[in-house]
Amino acid sequence: MSAHDTRRARGAEITSLLGEPGLLPFLPLLYVAWADGDLEPDELRLIGSKVDAAEGLTPSVRAALGRWLDPEAPPSAQSIQDLLAAIRRGAEGFTASQKLNLTDLGMELVRSTGHPVEPVVQDALRALEAALGVAGEEATRRILIGERPAPPAAERRPAFDAEAMSRLLDGEHRALRNEIRSLLSQPAFRPEPGLGREAYRVKVLSWCRELASRGYGASPENLGGESDDGRYLATFETLAFGDLSLLVKFGAQFGLFAGSIQQLGTRKHHERYLRQVRTLELLGCFAMTETSHGSNVHDIETLANYDCQRQEFVLHTPHDRARKDYIGNAALHARIATVFAQLQVGGESHGVHAFLVPIRDDDGRPVPGVRIEDCGEKMGLNGVDNGRLWFDGVRIPRESLLDRFGQVSPDGVYTSPIPSPSKRFFTMLGTLVGGRVGVGLAALSASKLALTIAVRYASRRRQFGPEGAPEVPILDYLSHQRRLMPRLASTYALDFALKHLVRRYLESRAEDRRELESIVAGLKAVSTWHAIDTIQTCREACGGQGYLAVNRLAALKADTDVFTTFEGDNTVLLQLLGKSLVTGHKRQFGEMSLGGLVRHLAAQAGTAISELNPVVTRITDEAHLRDRSFLLGALRWRAQHLVGSVARRLKHRIDSGADSFLAVNECQDHLIETARAYVESLVAEQFAEGIDACSDAELRRVLAPLFQLYSLWRLESDRGWFLEHGYFEGGKAKAIRKLVNKLCGEVRSQAVPLVDAFGVPDGCLPPIAA
């Protein structure tokens, strides 16, 4: 007998099995098991083993099921069609609007024959449906009415008002954001790929001057005093749609440099400097990092010795690798620097403090004792002049110490409102957290720009298609949706989370930012990593066009790359958050006494995690998987579980005599995962709260699937962990994967208006997205 004849015989045999009455309730399940063709032999065996374990099935039903589920002998396409026809015959009269899962449908088939439904069979069906891991209601719908046809073009028209969504995202500073948008749309502000480095730097400086002259460095009424951080952050976020060298130079001057004077200085500094800094009469830089010490600011080595006789500080670079490095604005334009150095008074060290140090004279030449070098060509951001600084006995007056948190009297007595050196250090750094918030927001805008380009392009670009029919827009391909839609949903999620963070930041007092600081650290890391992943994905999604400089993605990729490093290296920042989570946000690890640390760890390690409900781990129906309490619950559970487990591991090590540094090092991966899980849970929560707070029902309806897609994508991405910890069974993980596919299709239908709502100004969009 030929292989063909064997298959035919097998098909006839299997078709004849449809006559087995006991098999009737299982038909929908058997159909779904084979219809998609995506079950692995192991999965079929797993379902087969559930059949074996099921109680109350007759031997003939058991045998029939065994044959249907035999991975070695799959049914023919004809048998599967026969199966579907048999189900549809039995289900005549049911409608797709009846919400039935596969178990329900099977039982209805039995009832339709007038036979009673046996509870044991129902139980067996439920177990098999869970093991199959399909979104039951959706599968039933497909059995009853077939695949949903692609929505006609008319259905893809915006189902919501993108302008209203844009207003929601822009929030309070919409008018200011629109001003920046129209400025960036002017031909003079267009990014110019291929401009040489020197010309690029000149151009970026002239753009900065233009922005300063229009008052964007500060609102006019507070040029010399209180800053308006809300306006500044909205300006910074919107500027990130344009040239990113401009953004970073603007940030170095108005964020880092002005911010250091504002936050670390006192009235005399504000009055003397802020007006000139915010109008750009005085260009400055923020010199914290040294070649030897970047992430570890505590141990920088530049010295500032107080000379009591002359009432001056003497700045000194003790060795070559203690030079200041990568400093934005330093190579060419800055006249003055905020220099972070170890303060020494009368031979006693008081830790890191900030000093205002002139570095160039009026003619732009380095002042005596200061050496300056250009960092040269970089991977991106070449319109910014990053440089290195050395100090050789540079003298500055006593008043140049930014003395909000530590003062030196003329006769050399050091005082501080914060007696603990380490608390003082963290408080000083904590006041600078606004820069980190800004980078998180700028990364968000960069993601929005990349997605706007890629989504618009994909909605028009056509490749391949059904035989004899027009080619299909690439955005209609599932794989393209899979690449872009979860990232679109995440960008919306991060928007809500970052805006919430900004509100908290603006409401907080500088001295009271410990918890906020660690959350800022986590969100900055997640937002910047999201940006570089999204930009790379969008670049590939635009094919060859994405590679052309004129289409902006190349520069966007190069310029945002360093967002993961400056304003705090992401890996270091996630550790900061991880440590802060296990110490209950109270203190940093190194600061606590060992006893205090162990008490905190014990409390966290003992935190009760809600019990896993064995039914919930298996539920796969769509309503459950879309349900907010399931989604938030799963993300919270993971974060909570990780905090508890890393605390137990740390405590175990410290109890066994390891010092805290070693203990942390051995649990570093765990701490980082804890922090990431916490941020993801926080983002979902803020997104959900933001949706609730939105008064426009239409927008809430559009945002709901974005929330579901964001949350399910996070669960899907970490399904290994959830499976490892028994939070899902395999069937549930598969059902999530299928629902993510479905949600990608749903979001795709609104993708163009969803990116339009980001409000990227037309002048910032390249030809492929115009």
Ligand X SMILES: Cc1cc2nc3c(=O)[nH]c(=O)nc-3n(C[C@H](O)[C@H](O)[C@H](O)COP(=O)(O)OP(=O)(O)OC[C@H]3O[C@@H](n4cnc5c(N)ncnc54)[C@H](O)[C@@H]3O)c2cc1C
Which positions from 161 through 200 interact with ligand X, judged by CB under 6 A?
none
Q: Which helix (H) or strand (E) holds 355?
A: strand 348-358
Retrieve residue 437's tokens. 């918030």
Nearer to ligand X, 180 or 288 (CB): 288
Q: What is the DSSP string of 637-669?
A: HHHHHHHHHHHHHHHHHHHTT--HHHHHHHTHH
Q: Which residue is nearest to ligand X (CB)?
A: 294
Minimum distance from CB of 702 to ligand X (Å)?
38
Smallest distance from ligand X to CB 245, Å: 10
Which structure tokens are listed for 169?
């995202």
Give the CA angle between residues 459, 465, 470 to the nearest 5°.
75
Residues of span 300-339 touching ligand X by CB under 6 A: 326-328
Lookup result for tokens 């109350």 = 56
Residue ranges of the alpha helices (H) in 414-513? 421-430, 433-460, 478-507
How far lies 225's CA from each of 218, 266, 275, 507, in Å? 10, 10, 8, 18
Of 288 and 538, nearer to ligand X (C-beta) is 288
Separation of alpha carbons 281 and 441, rounded Å = 27
Among residue numbers 277 through 296, which ones bind ligand X (CB under 6 A)? 286-289, 294-295
Stretch that binds ligand X, among 156-164, 564-572, 580-588, 728-736 (CB under 6 A): 564-572
Among 386, 537, 604, 681, binds ligand X (CB under 6 A): 386
Q: How far is the CB of 337 from ligand X (least distance, A)?
A: 9
List the structure tokens of 727.
């939070």
What burial class does residue 638 get, using C-beta atoms within 10 Å of its C-beta: 0-12 exposed, 13-18 middle, 19+ buried?
buried
- Of residues 45 and 378, the one with the C-beta less far from ligand X: 378
* Beta carbon nearer to ligand X, 562 or 592: 562
Q: Is 20 helix (H, G, I), strand (E, B) or coil?
A: coil
For residues 671 and 668, give the distance between their C-alpha atoms in angstroms, rounded to a whole number. 5
Site string for ligand X, 447-476 (x = CB under 6 A): ------------------------------
CA of residue 296 relative to chain centroid, distance: 25
User: Nearer Cβ to ligand X, position 321 or 371?
Assistant: 321
DSSP 85-114: HHHHHHTTT--TTS---HHHHHHHHHHHTT
Least distance in angstroms from the C-beta of 328 to ligand X: 4
Q: Provide the 8-state DSSP code for 188.
A: G
Q: Does 381 bind ligand X (CB under 6 A)?
A: yes
> Of the two residues 535 and 736, which places its CB atom closer to ligand X in the complex?
535
List 24, 105, 446, 562, residue binding ligand X (CB under 6 A):
562
Q: How far is the CB of 131 from ligand X (least distance, A)?
A: 42
Query: How far apart are CB 364 and ligand X at their closest, in Å?
Result: 19
Of 82 and 559, nearer to ligand X (C-beta) is 559
To ligand X, the closest distance from the beta carbon of 351 in angstroms equals 17
d(CA 241, CA 444) in angstroms, rounded, equals 10
Question: Shortest gap between Cβ of 355 and ligand X (angstroms)?
Answer: 14
Considering the complex, what minimum distance in angstroms separates the CB of residue 273 from ligand X?
Answer: 18
**Any residues with CB less than 8 A from the CB of 385 and at least 6 apart, and which?**
201, 328, 329, 330, 331, 332, 333, 374
Annotate each residue in 566-585 with x if it binds ligand X (CB under 6 A) or - if it does not, as one string: x--x-xx-------------
Nearer CB in complex with ligand X: 57/248 = 248
The sign one gets for the Cα dihedral 173, 176, 179, 185 is: negative
Please report, as residue ranges, which positions from 199 to 258 form the binding site for ligand X (by CB under 6 A): 252, 256
Are 483 and 536 in contact, with CB atoms under 8 Å apart? no
Q: Copy the structure tokens of residue 267.
A: 């009235």
Give yes or no for a contact between 52 and 62, defined as CB atoms under 8 angstroms apart.
yes
How many CA atoms lie within 13 Å of 665's alpha carbon, on the beta-carbon side? 5
Q: How far apart are CA 239 and CA 586, in angstroms?
A: 35
Residue 215: CB minimum distance to ligand X, A: 24
Pick 326 or 355: Cβ nearer ligand X: 326
Pick the closer one to ligand X by CB: 662 or 693.
662
If the CB atoms of residues 536 and 565 are measured against ligand X, the closer one turns out to be 565
- Minimal distance, residue 669 CB to ligand X, in Å: 10
Would you report the helix, strand and coil content of the chain in percent, each value rounded to 5? 60, 10, 30
- Applying the rule CB under 6 A, the residues between 493 and 552 that interact with ligand X are none
Interaction pattern, residues 332-371, with ligand X; x per rule: CB under 6 A:
----------------------------------------
- Total residues in contact with ligand X, by rule CB under 6 A: 20
Residue 565 in the binding site for ligand X (CB under 6 A): yes
Rounded distance between C-alpha atoms, residue 375 and residue 310, angstroms: 35
CB-wise, 288 or 764, nearer to ligand X?
A: 288
Pull the structure tokens for residue 81: 């069609």
Residue 588 touching ligand X (CB under 6 A): no
**Minimum gap (Å) between residue 340 Cβ and ligand X:** 7
Chain-centre distance for alpha carbon 722: 20
Nearer to ligand X, 252 or 454 (CB): 252
Least Å distance, CB 253 to ligand X, is: 10
The residues of the shown chain that bind ligand X, judged by CB under 6 A, are 252, 256, 286-289, 294-295, 326-328, 378, 381, 386, 562, 565-566, 569, 571-572
